A = this chain, B = another copy of it.
Amino acid sequence: MIRLSKLADYAVVMLSYMAAREGEVYTTARLAERTAVPEPTAAKILKLLARSALLASQRGSNGGYGLARPAADITVAEIIVAVDGPIALTACVQGSSDHCGVEQLCSMRGNWNKVNRAIRDALEDITLADMAVPFGVVPAIAARQEQGLA
């Protein structure tokens, strides 16, 4: 099974919560409480998101976090990258120096890039706004499915 880390899952949950009212500032404690994510873990995730400039942070008292951009401009791909690092399926992706033992096969392995690319594209097409829509129709996705692309 392809695994997405729980942290990335939490991240999307928290960001979606914040997307409900853009422009508002949320403290770690409040977000943790409302999303049922343990506070220290929530803090860790929020820091990561702030570092990647998906969240704007305000230090000091009355500080907190807010979305740095409109939810429709934040893709799921970005969130995953911020929390888990680059989206790629195998280690043998870019000409990383560790030789794969069987050099000829490595060239074949390079085709994972095609796969990675396909997945990245899929994730880049889904925005936080899409995720935040409860259940019903997610317009962007529905449109692509209409075209048989999704």
Chain A residues within CB distance 8 Å of chain B = 1-4, 6, 9, 12-13, 16-17, 34-36, 76, 80, 84-90, 92, 100-102, 104-105, 107-112, 114-115, 117-119, 121-123, 125-126, 130-135, 137-138, 141, 144-145, 150
Contacts and interface: CB of A to CB of B under 8 A. Distances in A.
Judged by DSSP, the binding face of A is helix
A122 B122 CA distance: 8
Point out which of A86, A117, A131, A133 has the most chain B C-beta atoms below 10 A from its C-beta. A131
In order of increasing CB-CB distance, the 6 nearest A-B pairs are A118-B122, A36-B101, A4-B89, A104-B141, A36-B102, A1-B85
B13 A108 contact: yes
Nearest to A149: B121
Given A108-B13, A114-B141, A126-B115, A87 B2 contact: yes
A109 B4 CA distance: 13
A90 B117 CA distance: 20
Contacts of A133: 108, 111
Contact of A3 (B3, B17, B35, B135): B3
B1 A76 contact: no
Contacts of A123: 115, 118-119
A88 B125 contact: no
